[in-house]
Amino acid sequence: MNDVIYWYSDDSFIRAEAELRRAIGQYAWRNRWIYIGLTQQRPEARFAQHQKKWAPGHEWDRMIVIYHARSFTLMQTVEDRLICYAQQQIALGRYSCTLINDKKSQRPLVANNPNGYWVYILVQK
């Protein structure tokens, strides 16, 4: 498959949070591995980097872009809250997937990115 799917909201996080949690749930339920990330790059470029980053045999099937905004601080909060949500749901036994998130959000390469930032989910069946 190996593709990037744009299914995203750019609404305020307060209004979009429930919808984003549902998206996490849908992809966590259907896949064996998920990763929740944040990028300032075009999602296609970031997906290509992820395909090279992981161990051989662990290629991601898809990247689903779920949220877009221009504020890095907001996006860092969105990413961290969605990771915490996924961890809680997995701990409660609601999802049987493995969440592979190695660290919390990192500072952007560029402090002010005119294209904004993207939160995404990587999935592997």
Residues 6+ apart with CB under 8 A from 31: 61, 97, 123, 124, 125
List pLDDT tens digits, range 12-71.
Answer: 888 899 999 999 999 999 999 999 999 999 999 999 999 888 767 778 999 999 999 988
- The amino acid present at 50, given as its one-letter code, is H
Q: Which two tokens stand for residue 114?
A: 């005119």
Instruction: State what percent of residues in the chain have pLDDT above 90.
Output: 58
Q: Phi/psi of residue 109, each to 5°?
A: -70, -35
Dihedral angle over CA of 52, 81, 71, 19, nearest 10: 90
**Whole-prediction pTM:** 0.88
Dihedral (CA of 29, 27, 122, 2) sign: positive
Highest mean pLDDT among 22-36, 67-81, 97-111: 22-36
Could you tell me whether strands 117-124 and 33-39 are parallel, antiparallel, or unpaired per DSSP bridges? Answer: antiparallel
Q: Determine which helix (DSSP H) or strand (DSSP E) holds 7, and give its type and residue range.
A: strand 3-9
Q: How many domains does the chain have?
A: 1
- CA separation for the pair 47, 104 (Å, rounded): 18
Structural domain that includes position 96: 3-124
Please check the confidence at residue 120 and state whether its pLDDT lies above 90. yes
Q: What is the mean pLDDT of residues 96-100?
A: 93
